[in-house]
Structure 1
Amino acid sequence: MVLLRRRSTTKDTNDSAVRAGEAAAAAAHASAPPRAPGEDGLPTRIGAAFFDLDNTVMRGASIFHLARGLYARRFFGARDIARFGWQQARFRLGGEHMGHVGDAQEAALSFAQGHTVEEIRVIGEEIFDECMSDKIWPGTRGLAQMHLDAGRQVWLVTAAPIEIATTIAGRLGLTGALGTVSETRDGVYTGRLVGELLHGEAKAEAVRALADREGLDLTDCSAYSDSANDIPMLTLVGDPCAVNPDARLRRHARAHGWRVKDYRTGRKAARIGLPAAAGVGAVAGALVAGTAVRRRVPGRV
């Protein structure tokens, strides 16, 4: 059992979010050692960059792409995939209210319980290559590479499971990832989370904990996200940037003088139409897929 350092919470930060953030930081591992000061003629690293995943680095919801890949491997029955698709659509369309986050949490847990960490890690690598690799925003990828070239750490910060988030970070050549941590026993998922989904305030807690561990000065760090739900994380750093922002984040960014980057084509359609279209498409795709799925494999989740 891993014991996590706990700190006092404030009225704005619930205990579950702190626990999730500290668990994410404890599970995060850099893919390469930091460069020495001045090595290869590069400047000394004084900070890091933190990137949200869904609709910031990758088009669409990573957890839905994961669900599609798991469906193809018969992890889900017809009712499961339909329910999962509906919950994900509600999560996106309903403003990501905490009740919807709870539903998404339940769905996220359902696929892993009883499976081994190694099994999910290998499947995650396969699913990234099959379903996710062609959905990376080139513009955001370029921003990440700019930070890497400057000798800075670059971390994904996402509600996706830490195993999947780490795979994506590795495939993109990033430093590492902060993601949702699930409880395991003897290398097998129990079906419970450590804390909660890495979402909203929990992301900010993860970034704080990682900064403490890595000795980062957050005023010299950057953060990128598409969602107003990530304002707590964006507010932590000295250089926040809204990428492909939703309407609420765009307003907030403009009011506070933050940078805004939009890599979508047809800005008005992207800002207003695509979230709804993506959500409806997720439901339709899940329901259509469900009609063809075979019975759940005995012994599978």
Structure 2
Amino acid sequence: MTEYVTVTGSGPSAAFFDLDRTLISGSSAFTLAIQARKVGLIPTHEFVRDAGSAVAFKLFGASDDTSDEVRKRILGAVTGLRQVELQGLNAEVLPRLIQRVRPEAKRLLERHRRAGRDTFIVSAAPQEIVEPLAHALGMTGGIGTRSRVEDGKYTGELDGPFCYGEGKVEAMQAVASWNSYDLAQSYAYSDSASDLPMLDAVGHPVAVNPDSKLERHARRNGWPIVIFSQRTKSVLRRTLSGVATAGIGIGGFAIGTQVGRKRRSGVFRR
């Protein structure tokens, strides 16, 4: 597979794809924000005060203390929202995300499928987006951040790992254990140094349009570096110019669902 990287290996394995600026160009949170604001679902004033720190967290990564603080603020902001209302956004959000899937990523997904390898999205984005998007793309499943739901409403508590940094690894290991994947034979793709734990967790890490820190790490360790179509920068400029809106969108990060107990066997077991 000279176009990107060589997809090889035998035995049970999987390919894990970061979502934002890897599988798709730009930010899924930004797309969610536009629709959420359009239908008046999320009050702007609850998120604007956190927009700066939220955008920095999403675009450039964060320390453990900062990510923990952002996670708590986000979960607090969505407490009491009805799950069905957020799920209802998919009718508008998913088609827009599908349009932004990188053509190279589509071909790479097909290569992995032909190799008999399961494929997953792994993202801090809400499970409401990640799971249906993965299935729409013909992938095995999606691993997103889930929030506990009681009586149809979000409680403000996580129902699983916060899928960022080490949280992605925890979720991947659970999926690998349930499906008997060998992570040493598995692949992972990301654009960001914040995903170094995810990339280090597999035997075949690949840097996609990497940021400077990830590029340096990849070169030092001999990891493949691939360049997908360059729509990212223009999308990034639009995102930063709408910083308040992006802050709202990032509020969707921790809006996961309590689907772990209902997902089909062989993907994720609670």
CA offsets 1:65-124 (integer angstroms, 9 cap, x no match): 212211111013342353354343222455423344235424543564323333322322
CA distance in 1, matches of 2:42, 2:73: 11
SS in 2 for 1:258: coil
Larger radius of gyration: 1
What stretches of structure 1 of length at least 5 have no aligned partner?
1-42, 288-301
Structure 1 residues 10-21: aligned runs within 5 Å: none
2:79 is the counterpart of 1:119: no
Distance 1:66-1:99 versus aligned 2 partners, 3 A rule: farther
Aligned sequence identity (%): 36
Greater helix fraction, Structure 1 or Structure 2: 1
- Within the candidate set 280, 295, 300, 2:240 is matched to 280
| Range with bigger deviation, 209-218 or 134-143 | 134-143
CA distance in 2, matches of 1:67, 1:84: 14
CA offsets 1:23-80 (integer angstroms, 9 cap, x no match): xxxxxxxxxxxxxxxxxxxx98621100011111111221222122111110133423
| Range with bigger deviation, 60-69 or 197-206 | 60-69
| Contact preservation (8 Å) 1:64, 1:88 | no
> What displacement does 1:173 show?
1.3
Partner of 1:234: 199
| Contact preservation (8 Å) 2:15, 2:117 | yes
Alignment coverage as a number of residue pairs? 239
User: Structure 2 length as normaliser, TM-score?
Assistant: 0.78
2:225 is the counterpart of 1:265: no
CA distance in 1, matches of 2:245, 2:69: 19
Partner of 1:64: 30
| Contact preservation (8 Å) 1:219, 1:238 | yes
> What displacement does 1:286 show?
5.8
Q: RMSD in angstroms over aligned alpha carbons?
A: 2.7
| Contact preservation (8 Å) 1:81, 1:286 | no
What stretches of structure 2 of length at least 5 have no aligned partner?
1-8, 248-270
User: Structure 1 length as normaliser, TM-score?
Assistant: 0.71
CA distance in 2, matches of 1:265, 1:50: 21
- 4+ aligned runs moved over 6 Å, structure 1: 273-276
| Contact preservation (8 Å) 2:29, 2:246 | no
